[in-house]
Chain A
Amino acid sequence: MIEFIDVVKSYSVGNQALKGVSLQIEDGEFVFLVGPSGSGKSTIIKLITGELRPTSGSVHVNGYSLERIRKREIPYLRRTIGVVFQDFRLIDTKTVYDNVAFAMRVIGAKEKEIRERVPYLLELVGLDNKSRRHPGELSGGEQQRLAIARALVNNPSTIIADEPTGNLDPARSFEIMSLLQEINKLGTTMLVVTHAQDLVEQFSNRVIVIEDGLIASDGMEGYYSYENQ
């Protein structure tokens, strides 16, 4: 569960990125987070992953209180969250297989578990026939699917995606969104930041609209209701 209670975040004095945000995302939900550039979307994500601390208010994520989490607890918080970025963030010197396996190795998984889990995930995202390739040899959509497989590999309860389709054409974007919907149906909480309004409207999910550091609307009615206010 993700819960923000009256969260304020200022990067410097007099420059508030978030001006009092409260929201709650239950386990198993699929939520779109939309809003204009600079409205505070990435700030919300960084508060969830522990990259930033709230200036005031409280943030609870999967049982951790982020306003008072200790530094050495942060890795364990992050194991409950899988993160996907617009720019994929893959390691070019490693194969497709090793990019996913790497994420298990660095949290100390056993080789045997790795050999079982990695092929399963590559199949889930449709890359099972490309496991020996390197990221540079994949299309943008395939690279993003690889990043999603990596985000899932440690079996997080939550996936957070910051503009996962920002670098993809509309067809690939739809494909990625559909993949995220499917993963959500398997039980993973999903928080997706996007600019792609038309894409949001093709799925009937909860939409949180943020504008200038404040929540402008939140509900199942989608982006339309906000636009038509």
Chain B
Amino acid sequence: MTEITVSAERLSHWFGQGETRKQALFDVSLALPRGSFTVLMGPSGSGKTTVLTLLGCLRAVQAGSVRLLGHELHGAPEPHLVALRRRLGFIFQMHNLHESLTAAQNVIMGLQVHPGVPDATARAAAAQVLGLVGLSDRIDYLPANLSGGQKQRVAVARALVGNPALVLADEPTAALDKDTAAGVVDLLKRMGAARGTTTLLVTHDNRILDRADRILTLEDGRIVKVEDRA
């Protein structure tokens, strides 16, 4: 039996209160095996981001169940969610790098969230991961001095440096040109495979689909299609 990194069972979600209350997810169920690379597709407003934030402990589960790394998220207290988040890697549409920190320092922030990592170890790890994403010569650059693709690669390095069990990426290539986008996704796929990381990637980008093990399609808050590619 394959190990499941994260699973959702009849997950529903509502936004707003009273009159304006609106259901965004309807009984979504899914399971991501360890080391898999899953793409979540669907039109804008279909609920992709909502799924991602629920699996990533960024929102409280309202109805249904999410099991992440063996922990039930429904009803879990906030400090518990914060602790679980440290075992995840997030990549956002915008790189969200800290403008005052160099590439290396931004990556170190991804590691320092784990207590007790010695300074020297953190530096070495940051340099190594930046090397893997091809930025060895940009280690001490501030984000302002990096191109869009380079910044997103630093963000990938930051998400991966702590060896996360699950990487959640929401349209990480939206702000990049075609070639750069393909490069970033290949990087994610390659590094995930090498480390046994489970990856869930939200995208509109058709060129990415052929890299997926599995494609989930969401429409109006429901999973309407599951395609296995592996």
Q: Do A and B come from the same complex?
A: no
Interface residues of A (CB under 8 A from B): none
Interface residues of B (CB under 8 A from A): none
